[in-house]
Amino acid sequence: MTANRHHIIRLEFSSAFEMLDFVQVVSDHLARSVGLDEDALHWVSVAIRESVINAIKHGNKSDASKHVFVEFESDSRDTQPALSIRVRDEGEGFDPETVANPLDPENLLKSSGRGIFLIRNFMDDVRLQRAPEGGMEIRMIKRVQPAPADGTLQA
């Protein structure tokens, strides 16, 4: 059973892929603290890595003078505990409506373009928008799924 807690953790770092593991440690710790199971924890891990990689590579164009901002908010006080994640870059941004569908036949063999698709499938709520502070941001939420009333395991 998780304790009823609410945490906000903010990270800011230069556009360096070496920071991925640190972000991962923070994400895993908070995901466990709200009660996400190992399967959900794995998918949150993939989503956070994809979003930070996108911020570094596509948003900030790997420019070490630009920063990535990651904010985690964990809340286990609600009836359905959740982990909220916000990742923001300092890039020019893009129109989320123009992101190509990687499942379209013309995109199947492309080496990129799957990150946002995967994130949308792994998380419960995903919003992409230009950040008021500048750059692009993605906001993601993963909710703890309640255990079945009869005590059986879910597939």
| pTM, entire model | 0.83
Average pLDDT over residues 36-56: 95
Residue 108 banded pLDDT, cuts 50, 70, 90:
low
Question: Are the CB atoms for 23 and 48 separated by under 8 Å?
Answer: yes
> What does the block give as tokens for 100?
């190509």
pLDDT at 1 over 50: no
Name the strands in the sheet holding 125-130, side by side, starting at the edge strand that comes first in the sequence: 6-14, 67-75, 82-88, 136-143, 125-130
Q: Give the range among 6-20, 47-61, 87-101 with minimum mean pLDDT.
A: 87-101
